[in-house]
Chains A and B, each alone.
Chain A
Amino acid sequence: MERLHWVWHRCQTLMGRESGQGWYSSTDGLPNKNSLDTQCSPHRVSGKRRTVFAHQGPHQHEYEAVSKNYKGNAIRTTKYRLLTFIPMNLFQQFRRAANLYFLFLALLNWVPVVEAFQKEITMIPLLVVLTVIAIKDALEDYRRYLYDKKVNNNDVRVFCGKQKEYVEQCWKDVRVGDFICLSCNEIIPADMLLLYSSDPRGVCYIETANLDGETNLKQRQVIPGLPLQGGEFTPENFHSRIECENPNNNFSRFRGYMEHSSGVRVGLHNNNLLLRSCTIRNTETVIGIVIYAGHETKAMMNNSGPRYKCSHLEKRLNTDVLWCVALLIIMCLTAAVGHALWLKNIKDPVFVIDVETPPALAGFYIFWTMIIVLQVLIPISLYVSIEIVKLGQIYFIHNDIDLYNELLDSRIQCRALNITEDLGQIQYLFSDKTGTLTENNMVFRRCSIFGVEYPHEENARRLEVCAVENKAAGHTMTLRPQPEPVPSTATWKEPHSLSEKEVVPDPELVKKLNWFCSPVLPLKEGSSGTSSSLELTYITDFFLALTICNSVVVSSSSQPRHVVPEARMPLKSLEEIKMMFQRFSFSPFTALSTLSPHQVKGSPRSFTSRLFTRGKTEFLTSSTPPNSSTSETDPGKESNLETSILRDKVDLPSQEKGGNSGPVEDDIKDAKTTDICCGAGPDLETDYDSDADDDLLYEAESPDEAALVHAARAYRCTLRGRSAESLLVDLPGIGSLSVQLLHILPFDSNRRRMSVVVRHPLTGQVVVYTKGADSVIMDLAETPKGDDQAQEIDCHIKEQTQKHLDSYAREGLRTLCIAKKVLEEEEYEVWLRRHVLAESSIDHREELLLESAERLETNLTLLGTTGIVDRLQEEVPETIEALQRAGIKVWILTGDKQETAINIAYACKLLGPYDQLLRANCGSKEACSAFLDELKLEVQHGQESLTDGVEAEDHEESSSRSFILVIDGKTLDWALQEELQSDFVELSRKCKAVICCRSTPLQKSQVVRLIRDQLRVMTLAVGDGANDVSMIQMADVGIGISGQEGLQAVMSSDFAVSRFKHLSKLLLVHGHWCYFRLANMILYFIYKNVMYVNLLFWYQFFCGFSGSVMTNAWVLIFFNLLFTSIPPLIYGILDRDLPADSLMAVPELYQNSHTSKLHLPYMFWITVLDAFYQSLICFFIPYFALTGSDVGVLSFGSPINASALLIVLLHQVLESHTLTWIHVLVLLLSGGSYFGFVLLFSVYCVTCSPPTNPVGVETLQMSQPLFFIICAITTVTALLPRMFFQALHNTVLCSAALNSSHLDKVESEKYRQRMQHWNRGHSKGNRLSVCVDNPGLEASAASVVS
């Protein structure tokens, strides 16, 4: 059945595409779609490309020829038109199975020989459903229509060829090739290429919040090499031809080239494209040419509808429905055979009208008649009801105050509407680490440069304080709902930004940075506190890299989102400085020529820094301890010893070098200090310090970038501004420098690094700064050939840095390595040529660019590494513990290092102190296979020893000793292969948790799929970033954390929460409730239908199986449609088997639904049996009471119907776990509506509804005591067994569930407090085993056993 639906779904999308109304794309099968696009679109002129000419330009002919097939900018997202609404809508609706079933029944009823009811009556269910859905569709469509109209009629200024100026036009009239002029804060009406920007650097900023929810500004660039760049742009003079790819839905990719009239081709890429529905920011005027319009824009093509996921319960339900179908067929066959036999045995009866029909044929007719009569048995209305119930459940989840984040002012977002109950059956939880378990609020923690570690103790202390405060706040927040008003959105960022910005510099490092500035210190060269100039070179390079190797956009807070004016750039003085510097630094150049070029290059930088920090020396030294011994006295610094050893080693060459160049250096220094520092320098500094320091806002793509920039800023290396061609940087002692930016090789997950190519402001060399994952950089950092000494230093640095990296990882820090490379001019030229080629190519651009980047990023010199701390979110350990107690296996899938991952796992108590770690790091497939076997054996042994020997021991202790598998990306690759899959699954099943580190997004999703498919369990994936998207989509339930990394994860998720801790309430309470509610409701619904239909079936035995019913047909139809339709809905939405407190306090209760005890097949059959029993009672008590009397057909049906209604309603009361006034009201209304309807009908319906004309029947019946006598005994007898067995069950098998629900309020409150207290106490010790006997738990367990 699902299959069928899927086909429809696809059909729908396809048809939607063909008719051009909507370019919807579902998340899967992307390549598929693209190929489809290109195949089935007749209007693509030149195969895979599109050519665009200016609309108002001289190329009118070409324009006409080329552009007539391009779509206009009008959009129409409505599905229907006014005139065609009814046929279209009917067509849409009849593609649904349920409606087809109704239609089939209705049509069947039109066949005279099988007609069961009046023709109109069987139409009612169909009509009701069709009308309801049609109204819903119409409303939705109307809303879309209004929105379209609004959008289409937006004004925009379009260049008009005749008037030679920009005129206002509606969005819908914009055509491909139009020139569009936009001002600041206007929304882009179509995808267009940026031709002109009022910004002198030719950039413009856009905000893509409408597309992906990211509010940071993205920079777009004017197409390079336009003839009229700089001056006013004149559309008439635009003669170029644009070739670009056909419309597609890939936001991050755009390729094409622009061919000028001169024949020069300029490559176009994503950076030149302004996407529809983004907003122009920070730029006065922008002019662009439209290349995709309307439905062909990337924004429109990316619109995907809500996700469809089929819940497991629904799948199970389908089998139940199939059983119902089987039941129906059996019943109908019985009736058919019975009728045939009955007819055969009866001779010439006066009451049989149709005597000519042979019995067999009559039986065949009866079969179909019975299908109409017993149609209710197939719970079609159940599907509608389930939808409604799920909407109700979603409503309550959405409104849960516990899932509301005050800081972000965000509720939970429920994006998938139909898998609420899957939340209650999760068995495996796959979690991302960064941003999911942690805050993703990166704070610079420590760094290591030149192999020297700077522990930043102050920084650590400050972070600790921050964390404690935050945690306390988090605790109080969850303990009691805060009555005070929510802080406004403007202020929430405060704590974050504070902690991000306020990096306390390490005194040692500060001192080193300032070393040259102090006139005293250099004299003491050789003492432990001083460093070599080489080291200083490294340090300054390191900070310069931190400052510029990123894609951070700078704006100032006083003028939000506005580029820092460049007029303040003291270019003139800088030039002077540079000139001067080059004059003086001549000798160091020659002196250091023996060293490798990259080292040479660094040296003069250190000079300048030394020269120009002088002005600030007082300021800085005042804040740091004056003597170098402080670093040694700092407590808890293990690295000190090795640092000093290193220093000794390093000092060797530096001394030599110093000796070589010493006098010159001193000379220069002296000259400088006297010359400049006293002059222009200080003025410059103070100028900037005063007005700009706190004014800068950094908007980074990833939080660690921002953290690094802030860290650099703490050391006075400040990024002040950015344009496409240059970066404005403050350096300590130098002031503002404009760094010419040659290239940015942006971060991608394959390379795991990013680079900038700049022309060094001081040396003029081409320098590559690379920042990336440690493993990658360490591999790329190659020891330079040549000088032994340099090689030695380099090796030493690498060794030390690796050590530091490992220790950082153990601390749970994120590490990034910084490296650089100096390019020779020729080398650069060669590379540049190929790079430009790569950039301008249309096909395989990505591959070529990647290759190009890899060519550049070789032979790097390792500068150092940074450690960034990412705090755990509040209550993560508690949540994980609760989830584990609930029987959910928690896996961590992260791209981080093994040590980092393990550390985080410890911190969040996924790992207990007694847990045994199994590390799988294998190099080859064979090794991996062998290793997995080995581990399996080990686990088996471990478990056997536990089960054999430790029988007597407390079971808590044994359960706490479990295995944790830690597997790295490479090994995972092997393990995921066909042959090893089963081993891996086997092994991981036996482990309490699995940590996959260094895993790629693809691997994440593969792991999820493997577990989901092999173990057939419910999986949940939670993540926050783009790298989690595939995993989120793969899992049965995908949860996105709306965090710092944009909204990609959220957009692809089923539910989006803002904190990890919300998971516990979402799963343990809402999941549990939703599952129980829905499962119960489904059973109840099936029960109701079987019970009612059987009444009709039993009657067949007394009417010659002729398909007669003893009820008025209207009552029959309305019984399900009206009288008993609302109570199950209320039951499904509001029922609570256990209070939320108990569910949260005793997560073990969640396991009940794990094994789907509630909806096991036997529950279905018990329900059906009970329904059979009840229907037997409900039919035969009235039968025996009335048999032989003068009872008429309808009078006979009257008590049966009434008692059936009472039984059905009271049955629900018995089944309900809670009854509120809403339940009572709905039950009363339902009962009342039946009696009201029936009585009114019997009074006013005189000639209507033949043949079962009800006039006078019910009024007479209900005036007789016999009616009530029959109803009373029937109802009681029917419900007696269920009541009895329930009472018996509840008393004898007093379950934990029942017991905990009996924990009265006070007790549960006490219990919770105790738990929390205990948890907190243990978390201080930081070594909490997950299942160590919990006093509270034990108590409850004891009471459970009793």
Chain B
Amino acid sequence: MMASSYNAKDEDGHISVSGPGGGALRSKKPENTAFKQQRLPAWQPILTAGTVLPAFFIIGLIFIPIGIGLYVTSNNIKEFEIDYTGVDMSSPCFNCSQNFSWNSTRPCTCTIPFYLEQSYENNVFMYYGLSNFYQNHRRYVKSRDDSQLNGDVNSLQYPSKECEPYAYHDNKPIAPCGAIANSMFNDTLELFYHPNGTKVPVPLTATGIAWWADKHVKFRNPGENQNLTAVFQGTSKPVNWRRPVYELDYDPLNNGFINEDFIVWMRTAALPTFRKLYRIINKKDNMVPTLQRGNYTLEVVYNFPVRSFEGRKRMILSTISWMGGKNPFLGIAYITVGSVCFFLGVVLLLIHHKYGNRNNSADISN
């Protein structure tokens, strides 16, 4: 029925005897071209055991080494993860975690000791990980104003409707508006190394954690080069925030909307269990590993409530490789698929041997 709807070709008021394309005065003989006579030279990919065989073996031969390579690479990546949610009574952060409120004025701090069994070479990436946090919820993802974040002054004063109900507070526009910004991760994580009972802070770099395109293209402070405080005058801070947006950092290149912690948070995670880059521990010189074996403590200023929705918070230390973070899956997958291909190739070889000989013309014919 629907089909017909398109072809209910409208009645032509005129009598035409000729068919489509007809009516020419000269001979109506169709052109004898390969295209019109459907004789274009064609490759007929008829898949038979014989033709597919090589493909299977080749896939197998390519995939298995790649898989091994990936697996080895993934295994070489060092990763350390510590859950500091404080679900257990014994956990140092248990007390802090009992506070479900965003706006408690008294900061709650907890310290989690841990022991690194391996030393970490190269740059070490420090992540915070959240679980059961649906940053990909449809309404949540929408709740932002990209123009405002891009430095549009007008949007600063009149945030997009998408930001509702986090667009205005006390009749003042919220900057940055929306639920994503409002729920920004606001724990402070600090790392201390304890070589011999001493406490040495591990230097954490807060810049370079956001995408270049985000930092330089997508996010911009309104009113180029002006005093941020002045620019954001007349706006309200997001409800859950402790400080206004222009006080996120002292570094003017990492403040306001271009604060990288903020930018990282604003790139919503695809899955409910995710990690976000928090700091980078840069390698200092080639002789000393970035993080040595030994005792460390993680000092957390515990602000971000997750227990209401049974979420978890983690701190992750990881090195990365060319293929990203630690993930053995791809390597295993490649090896498996490669082996399966190889196996199927063998099966096909047997089949080909059994049946293929009879139709020896099974080559690709023209």
Contacts and interface: CB of A to CB of B under 8 A. Distances in A.
Contacts of A1181: 333
A851 interface: no
A99 B136 CA distance: 32
B13 interface: yes
Contact of B334 (A406, A1251, A1273): A1273
A308 B136 contact: no
Interface stretch (A714-722, A1021-1029, A1213-1221, A1227-1235): A1213-1221
A921 B25 CA distance: 51
A163 interface: no
Contact of A1284 (B41, B44, B52, B359): B52
A1256 interface: yes
A1136 interface: yes
A1214 B45 contact: yes
Given A1185-B330, A1193-B136, A1291-B352, A314 B3 contact: yes
A1057 B18 CA distance: 12
A1099 B156 CA distance: 33
B137 A351 contact: yes
Contact of A406 (B29, B63, B356): B29
Nearest to B311: A349
B348 interface: yes
Given A353-B165, A369-B138, A486-B29, A1256 B218 contact: yes
Nearest to A314: B3
Given A1253-B146, A1301-B44, A1266 B28 contact: no
A420 to B, nearest CB: 12
Contact of B15 (A3, A277, A310): A277
A98 B2 contact: yes
A1106 B20 contact: no
B47 A303 contact: no
Q: Which of A299, A351, A1103 has the most CB of B within 10 A?
A: A351
B48 interface: yes
A830 interface: no
B5 A383 contact: yes
Contact of A353 (B50, B127, B139): B139
Contacts of A1250: 142, 144-146, 160, 162
A186 interface: no
A277 B141 CA distance: 67
A659 to B, nearest CB: 65
A579 interface: no
B9 A1107 contact: no
A1260 B210 CA distance: 12
B19 A415 contact: yes
Interface string B288-302: 000000000000000
A439 B323 CA distance: 76
Interface stretch (A392-400, A743-751, A761-769, A896-904): A392-400
Interface string A1253-1276: 101100110001110011001001
A1302 B365 contact: yes
B23 to A, nearest CB: 11
B270 A1192 contact: yes
A410 interface: yes
A1190 B351 contact: no
Contacts of A1265: 322-323
B1 A481 contact: no
Contacts of B150: 1246-1247
A1216 B179 contact: no
B276 to A, nearest CB: 5
A210 B15 contact: yes
Contacts of A1287: 47-49, 51-52, 348
B280 interface: no
Contacts of B309: 346-351
Q: Which of A9, A395, A1266 has the most CB of B within 10 A?
A: A1266
Interface stretch (A222-230, A664-672, A1292-1300): A1292-1300
Interface stretch (A140-148, A502-510, A547-555): A140-148
Interface stretch (B32-40, B88-96, B111-119, B169-177): B32-40
Contact of A1188 (B38, B275, B322, B356): B275
Nearest to A9: B8
A352 B132 CA distance: 12
A1276 B59 contact: yes
Contacts of A406: 29
Contact of B2 (A79, A354, A380, A1186): A380
A1134 B272 CA distance: 46
Nearest to A1302: B361
Contacts of B5: 5, 8, 95-99, 383
Given A96-B2, A1134-B38, A308 B7 contact: yes
A1187 interface: yes
Contacts of A1124: none
Interface stretch (B189-197, B229-237, B252-260, B336-344): B336-344
B186 to A, nearest CB: 11
B315 interface: no
Interface string A88-126: 000000011111010000000000000010000000000
A1246 B325 CA distance: 28
A97 B47 contact: no
B135 interface: yes
B243 interface: no
Interface size band for B? 35 or more
Given A1265-B322, A1288-B348, A1103 B134 contact: yes
A347 B308 CA distance: 6
Interface in A1180-1230: 1181, 1183-1193, 1195-1197, 1213-1214, 1216-1222
B2 A1188 contact: no
Interface in A1039-1061: 1047, 1056
B154 interface: no
B14 A144 contact: yes
Given A398-B30, A1217-B46, A353 B4 contact: no
Contact of B31 (A399, A1264, A1288): A399
Contact of B355 (A140, A400, A1195, A1291): A1291
A317 B344 CA distance: 35
B242 to A, nearest CB: 15
A77 interface: yes
B217 A404 contact: no
A1257 B230 CA distance: 33
Interface string A359-403: 000000000010000000000100110110010001110111100
Nearest to B275: A1190
A1136 B38 contact: yes
Nearest to B344: A1284
Contact of A1291 (B59, B275, B334, B351): B351
A1 B2 contact: yes
Q: Which of A133, A414, A1256 has the most CB of B within 10 A?
A: A1256
A398 B21 contact: yes
Contacts of B66: 1269
Contacts of B44: 1217-1219, 1301
Given A409-B29, A418-B3, A1190-B274, A1106 B137 contact: yes
A96 B10 CA distance: 13
Given A98-B6, A137-B10, A1290-B48, A299 B144 contact: no
A414 B19 CA distance: 6
A1283 interface: yes
22 contacts: A3-B1, A9-B8, A144-B12, A211-B15, A305-B10, A318-B3, A350-B182, A353-B139, A411-B30, A1104-B134, A1134-B40, A1136-B38, A1188-B129, A1196-B270, A1217-B44, A1247-B150, A1250-B146, A1255-B213, A1265-B323, A1269-B334, A1276-B59, A1284-B52
Across chains A and B, which 8 residue pairs bring their CB atoms closest together, nearest first?
A77-B13, A1256-B213, A305-B11, A1-B1, A96-B5, A1196-B270, A413-B19, A1218-B42
Given A2-B1, A304-B11, A398-B21, 6 more contacts: A98-B6, A116-B138, A303-B12, A346-B309, A351-B134, A1283-B47
